Amino acid sequence: MSRSLIPWRRRAPAPARVEDNPFEVLHREMTSLFDGFFREFEQAFRGWPGLARGGGPALAPAVDVSETDDEVHIAVDLPGLTEKDVEVSIDDDVLVVRGEKKQEREEKKRNYHLLERSYGRFERQVELPGGLDLDRAGAKFKNGVLTVTLPKRPNAQSRRRTIEVREE
């Protein structure tokens, strides 16, 4: 017991190496596994319409919805596509935009020949407000942007209502 009270006789425990800790080893292996998976996932979806900023994949094209007193406008970003690649429908007050992107790249040089193909389907759904005249709906496609215009019925009341907030 007296030996443990004398400071110069005590030996400091050897510092634990990271490799000796099984939880650190497991953590490092899991991190490496997930990093590899997401890197391959990102590469698989590179070049798709609606690819998120920062390089991460997005599985649906970007959509902007705006409203005026007379109409609802929906703009869908579809770069690299044409109007023939896109299908627009309205199912039970839901606007559905479907399509397929087909991309092929071929490059021939003196010492190599590169041919890449990628295909993929996408779909985006937007719930529509009530009071629209769906029979007069229209769509235009220009410069990779699909614009859907949905006129409101003349007698449609605004569904917006202000609710008073009170302090308790």
pLDDT digits (tens, 9 = 90+) for 60-93: 788 999 998 889 999 999 888 888 889 999 988 8
Residue 62 corresponds to which tokens in the numbers above? 């970007």
Mean pLDDT of 11-20: 59
Residues 93-106 have pLDDT tens digits of 899 999 888 878 88
Query: How many Å from the N-terminal Cα to the C-terminal Cα in the chain?
Result: 67
Query: Contact 59/122 with Cβ under 8 angstroms?
Result: yes
Q: Which domains does the chain have, with CATH numbers?
A: 53-151 (2.60.40.790)
Tell me if the pTM is above 0.75.
no
